[in-house]
Amino acid sequence: MTWGLVLGLALGAYSFKVLGMVVLGQRKLPPVLDRCLTLIPAALIAALIAKDTLAIGQQLVIDERLAGVAAAVVAAWRRLPVIVVIVIGATVTAVLRQIR
């Protein structure tokens, strides 16, 4: 990836944000659309985690990473601090890789 591409993508992203402010101005979005837009970041992160957990290249792979993510999900569900969630997920993955 070149710096020109990075700067071009940054300029495009910034332009979209400015365009949204110019087009919408002070108007409010409809409540249904506003609720949908608030869910997009969580859905995007979930999709990225699922892709990185279950795929290597073009192949579907179920391995130790899935157990690590599952352990991290349980830790997050129990409302543990973020650093603890990360350490639990990494530890479970590492231990299972050592066993295998």
Cα distance between residue 100 and residue 95, in whole Å: 9
Transcribe the chain into DSSP letters. Answer: --HHHHHHHHHHHHHHHHHHHHHHTTPPPPHHHHHHHHHHHHHHHHHHHHHHHHEETTEE--SHHHHHHHHHHHHHHTT--HHHHHHHHHHHHHHHHHH-
Amino acid 27: pLDDT: 81
Task: List average pLDDT for each run of 10 residues in the chain, which is 100 residues long.
Answer: 92 90 81 90 94 91 95 97 97 95
User: C-alpha dihedral over 42, 46, 47, 50, to 10 degrees?
Assistant: 180
Amino acid 42: pLDDT: 94
Cα distance between residue 69 and residue 49, in whole Å: 9
Amino acid 19: pLDDT: 87
Is the whole model's pTM more than 0.75, yes or no?
A: no
**What residue segments make up the domains of the chain, in order of their start?**
28-99
Amino acid 1: pLDDT: 72
